Structure formats: structure tokens, C-alpha cells
Structure 1
Amino acid sequence: HALRHSDAELVLIDRRNHHIFQPLLYQVATAVLSPSEIAAPIRQLEATQRNVTVLLAEVTGIDIASHTIEASSPGVGVRKIGFDYLVIATGMRPSYFGHDEFARYAPALKNLNDAETIRAKILALAQMVKVTLRGNFRRIDPAKASIILLDAGKRVLPTFAESLSRKVAGHLDKLGVTVLPGVKVETVDEQGVIAGGNRIPSATVLWTAGVMASPIPKMLGSKTDRAGRALVDPFLKVVDAPGVFVVGDAASVMQDEHPVPGVAQAAIQEGRYVGRLIAKELKGRKVKRPFRYFDKGNMAVVGKNYAVLQRGWLRTSGFLTWLVWAFVHVLSLPQLQNRLRVQRQWLWSYFTGQRSSRLIPEPP
């Protein structure tokens, strides 16, 4: 929005026509919310900014020398688009650490398709349980069902203080979740998981073990880190690529010899900084102040009625923290209608115990 009143012509390219509020994506997977409640059409979000053109396309190539990109659109084909400034904010994708075959049996959660796939699988299993119980055919006993969390690290939520990690581990135990720290997954197949040399049978395996950058930064031909993120200077510019910026999870940003965390608040701050920087450069003003990330704190929700918060010296957990988490996330939704619908659905689900989005879509 820093360029709203400038003479610049902005072209926003995305292979999807909607923006997703990622922190609540898991609630689509668990049937608490429907996709439309956490997503909004990009054209609708940018409708009031007259100098923005939204293009539904996928970037297939970047030519730094000629300052052009290639983008492929459905029904149109490949077109070339010139630029004076290029801002890459393509985020991350799941990483299976060289074992992409795991994806067939262990879906990740990065977009609406992933969420709906997970939801359909869980609902199908739940439906099977209800049918077998009503028919007194106990092939599946819900009392024997279990949730196992495998973590290669030493503790859950390693970015939080150890005291909060211990509280979260204790709360997970109360919820019946078995946490196995220091265990690496070796194989994932239709029978379950092999981890730490042991076979763990499972009908449902979900993957949250790692991410890597989208392939777009590598198209620049510049240096990237091990996760494929573009190395940028303190002004978020790509070295040896004039006029090219990378922000969010696609960028490897260093501050005080430490990496800036790949979280939403960092991406938002980086995007605003680049917008203001470009606006100043268009006016012929030189920007001297590099990007500085301000940590507003971290929050994590752990089931119903429980969350943890860490900001500087402040450490809180429990029901009140969960209410703060809910308030912050509702305010962060992109549109007023999303905020109202999510509040209404949360209240309904909280007091009735029912979930709104329980349809199982037919396969294409």
C-alpha cells in the first residue's frame, strides 16, 4: 500500500486467485472452518488500489539481464512481462528431505487442497467408526485410537522458552498425545511409519517435518541457502540482481548475525519495508536505513482452551492466553466478512461441539 498513490503500475502475479490466512489453515483440515472463511479473492482484496493489475499465472522464468519474466496463464500461454522492480514473495513448500515418495502417504499442510485432502481422510475414518459402532461391529475401537507426535528435536516448540515447551508437553499428555522427541522418521508407507528402527502402524500420517523455498528464487541464478532461499543484503535486495527484492519465507535475511525467523510477522514487515523503499527511490530519494525486524512475540495454540505466548521476558499459557490468541488471529484476517464469519463459527463450535464443514468431496 506504500505505492497506492504513486505513478507506478503494479502487476501482482499468483498461480492461485486467492489469499490464504495460513495460521488458521489447520482449522479447515479439522472441519472447524470452511475454506471461504480463511481465504479471500486477490482481486477483491486489491479492488480499491487502482494501479494494481492482478494476473492469474505461474512464473516460469526470470531474465535479470533484460528485466523480464515469463508467466504462463491458463488459456493464454506464456507471455513476457517487463519490470523495473521485481518483488518475490513466493513462500515455502513442504520438504521431505529427498524422500518425495513420502508425500503419497503423509500429506503436508500448505494450501487449501492439502487441508481438504486431510479433512476428507479424517472424516472418512470418523464416519467408519460411527458406522461400525452403531452396527456393533467393533473392527475399529476409538478408545484404542492414539495420536503420536514424532519430533527429531529434543523438545516441542524449540523456538519457545524451555519452560513453555515443558508446559506444552504436559498439556499434550493430558490430551492423550504421545510425544516422542529425538526420533527421526526413516520410512513412510501405507502401513504407517518406521522411526527410530520401530514400526508404528497408522491409518493417518501427517507431515510437518520441514519446508523449503519455492523454485522461483533459483531462477534468479543468484546464491541461495540450503533451503533454497535467496541470499539478500540488509535492504532485502538480491546481490547482483538490480531492482530485485525477495521477502518472506523465500528470503534468507540476516540480522545481528542471526537469521530472521520465517514467520508471518517478519514477512509483513519485510513487504512494507520494500514497498516504502521503492516509493522513495521512485521519488529520487536514497534509502540509508536497512531493514530491521521487530519481534512482536510468538504464540502457539495447543488444542481447545490452551495456548502459549512468549514476548521478551513475558511467558504466559492457559485459557486467557488462548483467548488472546483467538482475538489476535481474528483481527489478522484479511476482510471484515472473514472476521465475522470466523467469530460466528467459533462460537457455534465452542458451545455445541459441532463442526461446520463435514462434507467429504468426491474425487475428480
Structure 2
Amino acid sequence: MGNSRPKVVIVGGGFGGLFCARRLKNVDADVTLLDRAACHVFQPLLYQCATGTLSIGQISRSLRQELEHHHNVTTLLGEAVRLDPDARRVTARRPDETTFDLDYDYLVIAAGMRQSYFGKEEFATWAPGMKTLDDALSIRRRVFAAFEIAETLPPGPERDQWLTFVVTGGGPTGVELAGQIRELATRALANQFHSINPEDARVLLFDGGDRVLKSFAPALADRAQRTLEILGVEMHFGVHVTDVRRDGVTVSPKGGAPSEEYASRTVLWTAGVEAVPFARHVAEVLGAQTDRSGRISVDADLSVPGHSEVFVIGDLAGRDGLPGVAENAMQGGLHAAACIRRELSGAARKNYRYRDLGSAAYISRGNALLQAGPVKLAGLAGWLGWGFIHIAFLTGVRNRFSTVGTWLATITRANRSDRAFILGGSGHPEEPYTWESPVHQSYTARQQKSA
């Protein structure tokens, strides 16, 4: 390592990267945290941002602000794109497409996973996932604009398309989104339109399994399913969404029965995840094994076999029994930092031991699930436990108080305070909710010409 201080590079500012950087405070090393968004996002609450309950600022915090008192930690904006393991160097790309290099003695990869469309990336145009703040804002625009557009249409099939919402995937994110859209339609928006009745909105949930929330105990999953049915969510199991278009989806049963078409102008995708491109590149250059989703196989201490200086934590760590949840990322970040601290002090590393702190899922106001070891809660008790856990892990005291206040207001009133959305700027030129689409531009040109 020479005479200079050891260099630690952390790729990713999610739960794993942030907890690792925090734990390395005051260590005799120079730590660089590289993130493509320069902020930490509390992903478990993205759906509440998407459906108007919480604002962006309540579920995110600047990494620079979060780590301002960690004087040995530098935060940089950039996306890791290349790894040179021989030179121990990471190349990152700035938003303007230029690049810069970061040398390391230890590398912690906490880049997380992205939404998977199972090889059909064209689906992303019409079916956004739920992984980033941009995703949440895109979904907010689509959901609220759908009601607004329906208000301008006469009764009939076209209006029905806009009032039909499709959610793919029956995991926690899919269940939370489906429940929130129905609650939005039946509560917050119920009396705010004149031509349409928002309560008529249909929410269709499609999943390839036989029930929702397969990672939860069957009794809790059944409770969640009954709650969704009471809310009015229409659930279809044992099916795959095999095509997504501007005006609907194709759904194919797993048993080989004929496919069905469903007309919808709002499709939300939560069906799978895969490794980000940089993680796949890392596995290739390090000669590491991966699973079909791109998770990288790691040794017992979370380092890559044959490269003890490289740690992989969180969703990307491909080791039996490690779930893709926030708690695993947090614990993995703390463990990687502890290994580095011990090694710098001359002590031996310890193996990683994941401690299951439980799982939680929000269904609707006053209804949530909480599963932690022998403790299994549902309904109001589960909702209180869910709220306590999420508040505890939000970054920033201000965000915690603000979020609690917003939740209390939402409980007592039907109002959702963060429903603002902007038309345009989605990146998809054919998107029907933007003033920038070719259809609108052509219409505008004709109007100007006729004038």
C-alpha cells in the first residue's frame, strides 16, 4: 500500500454503501463513496412517493449532507462503468459522458439491482419499474394523469382504458402499489372529479405464483390477499405478462391456456430484478461466478473469491440464504467496513452472519404485515410495527418528524399532499402523457400553420 493512506472506494450510496461509509468514519484511510444520484433513497417508501403520500425530500437525503462530519469520506457523483483489477482502478462516468478514475486498495460494490424485464427491455417504455426516484415520479405522472385524461373523455372503452391499472408481480412492491392505487381512487380522489367516478378504477394484479407475498407466512399472505380483495384489487395468479403495449398487455397462463388481452394505459412493473451492468462487468473481469440474475458469488466474508480486496454486499451478494432486502444491505455494509478496519489494525477478518430482522409490507391505511421470527402481526398492529421500523431507518431527524406528521395527516384526512406531477421529460418520445410527443408536436404544427 506504500506510504500513503489506504484508499477505500464504495460504489453505490444505498443502504449498504451508506452504512459502510458511516462505519469507516475516523479510520486511517481515505474513503470515496461513488453514486450515480448523489443521494440516499429510502427505497421501501418509493411507492408512497409515487402515489402522492410522501415527497421526494422525505424519502431521500443528500449523501454529501449525510456524511459531512465524516472527514475522511469523500462523496462523488458518477456511475461506475469499468474495473481494472490489476491496476486496482475504477473508471466512473460523469453525467456529461466524460470519465475519471479512482484508485483503491479496498473496493466495496454496493451498486444494487435494477428492474428486470426478462430480456424484453422494450416493455420499460410503457411499464416503469420501482427502483429510483425517477421511477417514482414517472409512476406518479402516469397514475394521476390517467385520472385527469379520463375526466376529459366520454363514457366508453377509451375512458375505461385510462381507468384500468395493471401491476405485474405480487411481491411487496406490487402489493403496496396495487393497494395504494385502489385506496387513492376510493378515498383521496373519490369526490374531486365531475365526469368520472374514481372508485370505478380497476386495479389488476398479475403474478406467476399461486398467492401474493410468497416470502411471508401463508397466514399473513392470506390476510393480505383478503385485504386487497376488500379494497377491490382484481388478482390473477399463475400467469405471466408476455407483452406490454401503449394500450394494454397480453397475459399468458402458465398451463398453456389461450392468452388474454387487457386494455390499459397504465402498467407498472415489479416482476423481477437483475444486476446492474457494472456488476456484470465486475464479475467478468474478476472471473467470478454469477447466478441467472447476475448476483456475484462471494466467500464467507463477502469478498470475491481470489480477490480479497473486493467486497460485494447487499442485493448483489450471491450467497445462499442472503435475501434482497434492506437489512441485508445494511448488515453487509457494516460487515465490509468491519473487515477493513480489522485488517488495517492487523486483526483477522470474520465471516458474515446475516441476522433476519423480519419483513414488512404495507397494504392500506391501518393494514400492514410484520413478520419477525415468531412474531407475526397483521392489521393495525402490523401497521404500527411497520411504521416504527420505517421511521427508525429513515435518514435524517427532519425526515423522520416530517414523515410521521404526513402519515398522521393522511390517517385523519383523505388528502394526499404531494400529488404534483409534470407532463414531459420522461425520456420516451411516444409517451401519451407529455406535451413533447410526436403526436402533440404534429398537432401543434398543424394548428400554427392553419393560423
Cα deviation digits, residues 245-280 of structure 1 (max 9, x gap) = 0000111122xxxx3111000111111011011000
Partner of 2:368: 307
- One-letter amino acid matched to 2:224: V
Counterpart CA distance in 1 for 2:296 and 2:244 is 30
Cα deviation digits, residues 109-163 of structure 1 (max 9, x gap) = 11111111110111112234556699x985x554532111101011100011111
In the alignment, structure 1 residue 274 sits paired with structure 2 residue 298: no
Query: Given the alignment, which residue of 352, 357, 373 partners 1:296?
Result: 357
Over aligned residues, Cα RMSD in angstroms? 1.9
1:199-348 paired onto structure 2 within 5 Å: 199-220=261-282, 221=284, 222-254=288-320, 259-287=321-349, 289-348=350-409
Partner of 1:23: 44
Distance 1:312 1:100, change over 3 A: same
Does structure 2 retain, via aligned residues, the 8 Å contact 1:2–1:279?
A: no
Distance 1:137 1:273, change over 3 A: closer
Give 3-state SS (helix, strand or coil) of 1:216's partner. helix
- One-letter amino acid matched to 1:24: L
- One-letter amino acid matched to 1:151: D
Cα deviation digits, residues 154-201 of structure 1 (max 9, x gap) = 110001111111111111110001111111111111121111201111
Does structure 1 retain, via aligned residues, the 8 Å contact 2:367–2:382?
A: yes
Does structure 2 retain, via aligned residues, the 8 Å contact 1:149–1:179?
A: yes
Does structure 1 retain, via aligned residues, the 8 Å contact 2:141–2:423?
A: no
Counterpart CA distance in 2 for 1:301 and 1:143 is 21
Partner of 1:102: 123
Counterpart CA distance in 1 for 2:278 and 2:398 is 33
In the alignment, structure 1 residue 195 sits paired with structure 2 residue 251: yes
Q: How many residues align?
A: 358
- One-letter amino acid matched to 1:9: D
* TM-score (normalised: structure 1): 0.94
Counterpart CA distance in 2 for 1:182 and 1:280 is 49
Counterpart CA distance in 2 for 1:211 and 1:266 is 16
Counterpart CA distance in 2 for 1:195 and 1:84 is 49
* TM-score (normalised: structure 2): 0.76
Gaps of at least 5 residues in structure 2 are 1-21, 155-190, 253-258, 426-451
Counterpart CA distance in 2 for 1:137 and 1:310 is 42
Does structure 1 retain, via aligned residues, the 8 Å contact 2:63–2:75?
A: yes
Q: CA deviation at 1:2?
A: 3.0
Q: What percentage of aligned pairs have identical amino acids?
A: 38
Distance 1:345 1:309, change over 3 A: same
In the alignment, structure 1 residue 184 sits paired with structure 2 residue 240: yes
In the alignment, structure 1 residue 47 sits paired with structure 2 residue 68: yes
Cα deviation digits, residues 290-339 of structure 1 (max 9, x gap) = 11111111111111110112122222211121012112211210000111
Counterpart CA distance in 2 for 1:64 and 1:363 is 42
Gaps of at least 5 residues in structure 1 are none
- One-letter amino acid matched to 1:283: S
Does structure 1 retain, via aligned residues, the 8 Å contact 2:241–2:249?
A: yes
Counterpart CA distance in 2 for 1:124 and 1:282 is 54
Distance 1:131 1:320, change over 3 A: farther
